[in-house]
Amino acid sequence: MVDKQLRRRGIRDERVLRAMLEIPREEFVPPDERVLAYCDDPVRIGYGQTISQPYMTALMAELLELTGTETVLEVGAGSGYAAAVLGALARRVVAMEIIPGLVQLARDNLRKTGRDANVAVLEGDGSLGHSDFAPYDAISVAAGAPDVPPSLVEQLKDPGLLVIPVGGGPRGFGDQELRVVHKRHGRVESRTATICRFVLLRGGGGWR
């Protein structure tokens, strides 16, 4: 996975590559889907949700430019895999999940893989962020939003980076843009890193 799907497609951050080499992805997918754990595709985890393809997890982590000192907000914890990767790259991760069953699943997966020491999975509307631990050095959103939620920009440090898929329409059809939002010197700038497809972001800052 690391050699063929990540290095060959341009992932260069050695810390990201090492984290994804060390973290057992099969522990974050359902038992009947484990044969697909290292395929270059999303994998179903129940509740109409998926774990992102490995390349997208790596790309989003790389775009955040983490050095190990940051507090990161993750929106859409799912089964906990991306939170585990971010936890290997940052000082602290606050992972929000709106589906109660996935909250417990992510907590269980992080605990059994020993990745829960600096990762907290909280139930709630992550599209609105989580002000208790704000501001965040970096924010990663693993679901497509109609636009960049203002609450997430507000909770981002200056300087800080936010990575989020945007677009796709309320019924989930069409491509999304993976946006990299950079807050610095009081200004907010955005660029598109690639085209992608994620499940839809639910909540007050997402699709209603």
CATH of residue 92's domain is 3.40.50.150
Give the residue-averaged pLDDT of 73-99. Answer: 98
CB 145 within 8 A of CB 168: no
Q: Residue 168: its pLDDT value, please?
A: 79
Q: Residue 173: its pLDDT value, please?
A: 65
Q: Examine residue 207 and state whether it is found in any structural domain, yes or no.
A: no
Give the residue-averaged pLDDT of 134-161. Answer: 97
Mean pLDDT of the chain: 96
Give the residue-averaged pLDDT of 87-94. Answer: 98
Length of the chain: 208
Locate 204 and state its tokens. 């007050």
Q: Examine residue 201 and state whether it is found in any structural domain, yes or no.
A: no
Between residues 33 and 171, the one the model is more confident about: 33
Q: Examine residue 206 and state whether it is found in any structural domain, yes or no.
A: no
What range does the domain containing 180 cover?
2-196
Q: Which residues are catalytic?
A: 52
Residue 172 pLDDT exceeds 70: no
Q: Examine residue 202 and state whether it is found in any structural domain, yes or no.
A: no
What is the percentage of the chain residues whose pLDDT exceeds 90? 96
| Placement of tokens 């829960």 in the chain | 116
> Looking at the 3D structure of the chain, how many domains does it have?
1
Residue 19 pLDDT exceeds 90: yes
How do 119-123 and 136-141 pair as beta strands? Answer: unpaired
Q: Examine residue 149 and state whether it is found in any structural domain, yes or no.
A: yes
Name the pLDDT band for 171 (thresholds 50, 70, 90).
low
Q: Residue 11 and residue 197: Cα distance in Å, rounded?
A: 19
Q: Examine residue 143 and state whether it is found in any structural domain, yes or no.
A: yes
Locate 167 and state its tokens. 């677009």
Going from the C-alpha of 23 to that of each of 3, 35, 123, 192, the distances in angstroms are: 15, 16, 23, 28
